[in-house]
Amino acid sequence: MLAVDTKFYEKKKSSTFYTAVGFLLLVLVLTGWMFFYNTQLDKQNTELETQITQLSTSIESLKLDPNIQTYSIYERHEAFLTKLAKESNIPSFVAHLKKYFAISGIDAKWFNYSQGVVSVSLSSQTNDNWYAYQKVVKFLRDYNNLWEEALFTAQFVPVFEGYDRINFKGEFKLK
């Protein structure tokens, strides 16, 4: 009869067993660690949800404050209100235009302002230095092109009347 060496199988059997037990222990440790980590994450999520709920409640109570409501309305319509404030500064418009009329030697007779457009009845008188039409042309050219602080854009002037005294209507659109 043939004798089979059983020690080889026993060694193989015990190393496989230890490997399986080692792998089982590794899986159990990883599972325990993942369970603990998951528990910590759940606890943190619960705390964050509680904080979010408290902050939401605080925000809702703040929204009931009349000052906050007013600011919220202002914030939503800020561009519109800023535009209205800019367009309603009529005294500064008059002072601004009078300054540039005086620089150019042009007289203003009446002033009308509506929806961002200023209409002014203007006249220019010939004097020793300039003809009336030269003053008008210089003013219109300089106002649109040279004076960067101009609040308006001078519109086209379709009609001039007069010779030594030129009368015309100027329209200026708010920038």
Q: What is the pLDDT of residues 82-134, one digit of tens each?
A: 888 887 888 888 888 888 888 888 999 888 888 888 899 999 998 888 888 88
Nearest Cα to Cα of residue 168 among 128, 130, 125, 117: 125
Report the distance separating Cα 109 and Cα 153, nearest Å: 20
DSSP state of 155: P
Domain boundary among 47, 72, 97: 72
User: Which residues, 6+ apart, have CB-to-CB distance to 136 below 8 Å?
Assistant: 106, 122, 124, 157, 160, 166, 168
Q: Which residue has the higher pLDDT, 148 or 129?
A: 129
Report the distance separating Cα 105 and Cα 125, nearest Å: 8
Residue 51 lies inside a defined structural domain of this protein: yes
Two tokens, residue 11: 């060694």
Determine the structural domain holding residue 136 and report its residue range. Answer: 88-174
Q: What is the pLDDT of residues 21-36, one digit of tens each?
A: 899 999 999 999 999 9
Same domain, 95 and 135: yes
Domain holding 166: CATH number? 3.30.1360.100
Q: Of 37-41, 57-61, 70-74, 81-85, which one has max mean pLDDT?
A: 37-41
Same domain, 121 and 93: yes
Count of structural domains, the chain: 2
Residue 31 lies inside a defined structural domain of this protein: yes
Nearest Cα to Cα of residue 83 among 116, 125, 61: 116
> pTM of the entire structure?
0.52
Same domain, 38 and 66: yes
Report the distance separating Cα 36 and Cα 42, nearest Å: 10
Residue 78 lies inside a defined structural domain of this protein: no
Nearest Cα to Cα of residue 175 among 81, 79, 87, 78: 87
Please name the residue that has the structure tokens 């092109």: 145
Same domain, 65 and 109: no
